[in-house]
Structure 1
Amino acid sequence: MADPDPQQLQTCPYNASHQVATYRMHIHLQKCRKQYPNCNKVTCPFDATHIVNDVELDYHISTCSKRHLFDSQVYITDDDHRPVVPVIQQPSTRNDCEESWDDENVTSYKPEPLKRAQNIIVKCKGATPSERRQARMMGVQTYRPNEGGN
């Protein structure tokens, strides 16, 4: 069954005088549910916009148009639908390599020397506006872009 046109009007299950566009029905149902708290209506487990009387719920569940979505996920009739992919064990590369990064005694990366390069303008933090301006102007004067260009 095809989905209804979003601009098509539907009748509210709580009040028959309410005509609501299909795409707005879920919003309208939240508001109407609050206006009719003592109404004996329940929500379909397959579609939140299906509101039926509580005595009719079993019949609605057996005939609901959205039930096929649930059934297609729960009931698998063939194994043909699920391809079986063999798991291939990858050879271990640990035996081939003698290198161990844990054994090396290397200092961590320190970005401070790179910040002091002449082609980088460093922002001053914690300085007064005049000191920041002076440092920025000093950086512009000493800035030398890479000579490897054109």
Structure 2
Amino acid sequence: MLRRLGEELDILTCPYNVAHQILRCRFQVHLVRCRKSYPDAEVVVCPFDVTHRINKQELNWHVSSCPKRQSFEVFKSNETPTQGVTASICTSFDSEGTQHNSTWETANTSFQLETSQNWDNLPNVPSYNPSAYAEKANVLRAPVGMKPAQRAAFRNAERKRLQNL
């Protein structure tokens, strides 16, 4: 890769192996591949950004200070962000005195967005069958995976089919 004099590359360190130095544009691909090499690593994915991989012990701290959390908070509340203001965690306690972090709990649940579409009410349409289409279309078909006698019979049937079209 060529770079101009004085221009710095944006290089990140892999959370699975600190010896891996990766360009930011290739980082997400590297994480997927490197995860396969380290299946026993105690690394979890941040709920706000898939490129943030954190040790299990540091997850609660990271969730409270993740820079991508503000965009999640804005999405959740449908408000416009105020410049220079960071989102805060809403802490609540239940009847047993257990502390709950509403941002973390919301990040781990799926959203149900309101929509006017109902995919259960769609008409029953058969799926596309390419073999059935090719039998009726003016296209050449090849006898794939057939024995010699079957290939000869297929070719004869194809000649007749194409003459009738």
Q: Calculate the TM-score normalised by the size of structure 1.
A: 0.46
Q: Calculate the TM-score normalised by the size of structure 2.
A: 0.42
Higher gyration radius (CA): 1
Q: Which has the higher helix share?
A: 2
